[in-house]
Structure 1
Amino acid sequence: MIHRLQRVVPDCPDPRAPAVLHRGMPGGDTDRPDPRWSLDDDWATLHLGDGRVPAFQRADPYEPPRWPDPRRPQRVHPDVGVTDLEAARDAAVALGAEVLDAGGPRTARTVCGPRAGHPFCLVRE
């Protein structure tokens, strides 16, 4: 084995905002001390119950993706499996997300994203 994928680190203007948003969806907590990284205003971590630690890194200047504009593409696109799409959408909005594409009555997904961050899909399981 040449390497082991440790995490995906998307760029963003405020690392804390997406860490807090995503903490509210799968659970976990943010910014535990760890010798592998420093904790400061340019870096935020999300510690999940299964041991994974996604992180978010400040980029300045930063221009967020715009759904579905190909000139400002998504840099990260996680799909989040949910059983109740409407409840999940409402919870994401309550945590600071905005709905970018509600789909339609036959669509089993809703595209959301932090106000200045990377879009993600809520996908009905």
Structure 2
Amino acid sequence: MSLQLVAITLDCPDPPALAAFYQQATGLELHPRSGADFAALNGEHGLVIGFQRVDGYRAPSWPGQDQPQQLHLCFRIGDDERLAEVESRLVESGARIPAHQPHGDRARVLTDPVGHPFCISTR
């Protein structure tokens, strides 16, 4: 059996808004069938990052597990970019920096505007 990963979908209260955050962060194109209840970005090699509306959405907690994170995305930054500069741009776009940072200078954990943790890394 061979499986190919084609999509990752995040629950959220406002799919277009969260898609816009990740579009600005990654430069990926908005999927043409995106709408109010589901939005998506076209990634590399056919991988789609989706965002689906969930009524009563509850943000994950990081690093605690009162509300499990359920998913953790990791992004490698460009070779010519500095971690602090990318982090700053993401914060300007709506990301937050949690106090718990387990990776030292190699990577930073951020949370997106609705609380999903994600990492940016130099590797």
Return the TM-score normalized by structure 1: 0.81
Query: SS in structure 2 opposite 1:75?
Result: coil
Structure 2 residue aligned with 1:45: 40
Structure 2 residue aligned with 1:17: 17
Pairs aligned (count): 120
Show structure 2 runs of 5+ residues with no match: none
Structure 2 residue aligned with 1:115: 113
CA distance in 1, matches of 2:35, 2:6: 20
Query: SS in structure 2 opposite 1:16?
Result: helix
Conserved in 2, the CA contact under 8 Å of 1:10 and 1:75?
Answer: no
Conserved in 2, the CA contact under 8 Å of 1:26 and 1:48?
Answer: no
Structure 2 residue aligned with 1:26: 26
Q: Which has the higher helix share?
A: 2
Conserved in 1, the CA contact under 8 Å of 2:18 and 2:51?
Answer: yes
Cα drift, residue 49 of structure 1: 5.1
Structure 2 residue aligned with 1:71: 66
Instruction: Give the root-mean-square deviation of aligned CA atoms.
Output: 2.3
> Cα gap change, 1:58/1:117 in structure 2, threshold over 3 Å: closer, same or farther?
farther
Runs (4 or more) in structure 1 with deviation over 2 Å come to 1-5, 48-52, 101-107
Conserved in 1, the CA contact under 8 Å of 2:5 and 2:47?
Answer: no
Return the TM-score normalized by structure 2: 0.82
Show structure 1 runs of 5+ residues with no match: 34-38
Deviations 1:13-56 (A, max 9, x none): 111222111112221221313xxxxx431101112354322111
> Cα gap change, 1:5/1:52 in structure 2, threshold over 3 Å: closer, same or farther?
closer
Cα drift, residue 3 of structure 1: 4.8
> Cα gap change, 1:105/1:111 in structure 2, threshold over 3 Å: closer, same or farther?
closer
